Amino acid sequence: MLGFQDPVADAIGLLRPRTVIEPSLRAVGTWALRFDPFLHVRIGGLVRGKCWLILEGHEPVLLHEGDTFMLGNPPPYVLASTLDASARPAAPVLAGADDGLVRIGPESEDDLYLCAGHITFDDQNAALLTDLLPPLVIVRAADPHGRRLGQLIDHLAGEVAIAAAGGPLVQNHLAQILLVHMLRAHAGQTDRPTGWLGALNEDGIGAALRAVHADVARPWTLQELAEIGHMSRSAFAQAFKSHVGVPPLEYLIQWRMSLARDALARDTLSISEVARATGYRSESAFSTAFRRVVGSSPRTFRDAARTSASGRPDPPA
């Protein structure tokens, strides 16, 4: 059976996250760094000090010690000591790091200390998460999740600083833990996200979502999912679409196709095995659903993934 039983864990597993932790930044005086757009998520936090985060199209935000931020597919943005500081490109500054550290200005006990990195995902399924994220999420140190996030940022900064054996592995796992906690914090904020991420906090809808993820191959009916949510069929269907954005059975199909894309891209199962694992009694029925959602046949999709992985065209049959 494909999948697990937790929608967040399932989605992140399919996304195949790849993490790059940037050099930590220590700065004093007047400074500003301009960052270019990038895919898909950037996470950072202040271990010490304060600075402005100026995101194109948004009001500037003053970050304080212990605050954490997450940017989803962000446009250009600036980190700066003051709003009127002249910004210079961040890339060449970070490229000059020494032992995982970039310093602007002389060493000082009062300098800013910031740690950040970016996480990219498998393009086939990246929209599972990136479509749900706003450009900017801020979790303040005093927020319910703030203390734990601050501790994780502090730990991550320490790993970058010591450059010990196994450091990249630890950094990668810490960044993914940060991502999960930021998603939890975002889902719990007043303006909760639409889509499955926000719906997990709704008792009946969340229970149905977890049931689908726990047994994706089951031939679910609307009535069964409504009973799990302790609602009538009509009330459940309306509430599910309101919170998730699509009807319940359409969500099920989309999730099955996300799992299928991943399995076919990794070439771990035959097409008939993928069909059975995602709840289809025949390869024909699976192929019809796959073509409708993805736009190509499973075989064409798998062959394209094989070609991409090999870096050269497949030999003639």
Which among 287, 281, 293, 224 is positioned nearest to 255, based on CA atoms?
Answer: 293
Residues contacting 199, CB < 8 A, separation 6+ = 205, 206, 209, 240, 243, 244
Band of residue 191 on the pLDDT scale cut at 50, 70, 90 = low
Q: What is the structure's pLDDT at 130?
A: 78
What value does the mean pLDDT of the chain take? 86
Q: What is the structure's pLDDT at 69?
A: 93
Asked whether the predicted pLDDT for residue 315 surpasses 70, the reply is: no
Summarize the confidence of residues 280-309 as an average pLDDT: 92
Q: Could you tell me the two tokens for 1?
A: 């059976």
Query: For residue range 27-64, what is the model confidence (pLDDT) as tens digits?
Result: 999 999 999 888 889 999 999 999 999 998 889 999 99
* 25-39, 172-186, 273-287: least confidently modelled range: 172-186
Q: What is the structure's pLDDT at 203?
A: 81
Q: How many CA atoms lie less than 13 Å away from 237 in the CB half-sphere?
A: 10
Domains of the chain: 7-188 (2.60.120.280), 198-310 (1.10.10.60)
CA-CA-CA-CA torsion sign (127, 15, 70, 142): positive
* 188-192, 271-275, 278-282, 285-289: least confidently modelled range: 188-192
State the pairing for strand pair 18-21/112-120: antiparallel
Summarize the confidence of residues 146-152 as an average pLDDT: 88
Q: What is the structure's pLDDT at 79?
A: 96
Residues contacting 175, CB < 8 A, separation 6+ = 17, 19, 21, 43, 117, 119, 156
Band of residue 250 on the pLDDT scale cut at 50, 70, 90 = very high
Measure Cα distances from 99 to 14, 96, 142, 152, 222 in Å. 33, 10, 32, 20, 56
Summarize the confidence of residues 300-308 as an average pLDDT: 88
CA-CA-CA-CA torsion sign (230, 2, 297, 127): positive
Query: For residue range 70-95, what is the model confidence (pLDDT) as tens digits?
Result: 998 888 899 999 999 999 999 999 99
- Which run of H or E residues covers position 209? helix 203-214
State the pairing for strand pair 32-35/88-89: parallel
Q: Could you tell me the two tokens for 292?
A: 């409708």
Q: Distance between CA atoms of 102 and 95, rounded to whole angstroms?
A: 9
pTM of the complete model: 0.74
167-188 vs 146-162: helix axis angle to the nearest 10? 160
Higher pLDDT: 120 or 193? It is 120
